[in-house]
């Protein structure tokens, strides 16, 4: 059994317009997932500083950040970051360049979290529907081109407002979706912009949207989570 979560942390800025990385960590500790995909984990301009200070992560959480970025002050790649438990073994990492007018990317890692290797892909797709579909194609192509096949979980902010069309239909040819539920906007969640997908060799045991007093203030998105096991 493995628990995963995805969270667009809005650069750590909550509904009160304060940047509070410790509040984000408190939300993640409430969820207590084994593997976490974060979006908007770095500040947008300048040196792209990470939102959650490495010392804060090291001293006040059970996770470590997987090294995926090319900027020493950043946690992620174009804002996409992956966290795993400190005892987990990271076997391989990769970055996926995505077609876009503004910098976009996805990150992937093969993780051994107790004897079973799982591939995790974190992503934050474009606002444009056409570019989202192109990005979905790039991600699927990248995953399928890797000769080392592992059970795979893909998650992130897909920015897809439709229920079944667009990039969701493209991903559905290869992956199954966890029925997590609406995660945006945090004041009145009506859109399932955040998604968790998995290969057929995994089964969803339980899943949902994490709504708590802290998570309803910490970002404009609610985090989503899923518990998965192998068939």
pLDDT tens digits along 129-187: 899 999 999 999 999 888 778 999 999 999 999 888 899 999 999 999 999 999 999 99
Q: How far is CA 174 from the centre of its chain?
A: 18
By the 8 A CB rule, do 79 and 124 touch?
A: yes
By the 8 A CB rule, do 80 and 7 touch?
A: no
Question: Three-state SS for 84?
Answer: strand
Strand partners, 226: 4, 207
Question: Three-state SS for 205?
Answer: strand
pLDDT in tens, 156-170: 999 999 888 899 999
By CB neighbour count within 10 A (0-12 exposed, 13-18 middle, 19+ buried), where does 78 fall?
buried
Q: What is the pLDDT of residue 77?
A: 83
pLDDT in tens, 33-71: 999 999 999 876 655 678 888 889 999 999 999 988 666
The 8-class DSSP code of residue 11 comes to G
By the 8 A CB rule, do 104 and 141 touch?
A: no
Report d(CA 89, CA 196) in Å as an integer.
22
């Amino acid at each position: 059994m493995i628990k995963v979560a995805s969270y667009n942390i809005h650069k750590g800025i909550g509904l009160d317009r304060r940047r509070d990385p410790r509040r984000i960590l408190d939300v993640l500790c409430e969820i207590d997932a084994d593997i976490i995909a974060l979006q908007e984990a770095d500040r947008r301009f300048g040196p792209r500083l990470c939102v959650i200070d490495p010392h804060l992560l090291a001293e006040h959480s059970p996770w470590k950040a997987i090294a995926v970025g090319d900027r020493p002050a950043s946690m992620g790649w174009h804002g996409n970051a992956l966290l795993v438990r400190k005892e987990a073994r990271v076997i391989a990492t990769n970055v996926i360049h995505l077609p876009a007018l503004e910098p976009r990317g996805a990150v992937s890692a093969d993780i051994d979290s107790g004897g079973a290797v799982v591939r995790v892909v974190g992503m934050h797709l474009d606002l444009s529907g056409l570019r989202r579909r192109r990005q979905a194609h790039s991600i699927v192509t990248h995953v399928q081109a890797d000769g080392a096949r592992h059970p795979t979980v893909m998650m992130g902010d897909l920015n897809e407002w439709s229920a079944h069309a667009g990039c969701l239909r493209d991903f559905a040819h290869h992956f199954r979706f966890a029925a997590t539920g609406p995660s945006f906007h945090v004041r009145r969640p009506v859109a399932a912009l955040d998604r968790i997908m998995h290969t057929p060799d995994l089964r969803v045991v339980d899943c949902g949207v994490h709504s708590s007093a802290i998570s309803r203030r910490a970002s404009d998105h609610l985090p989503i989570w899923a518990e998965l096991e192998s068939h």
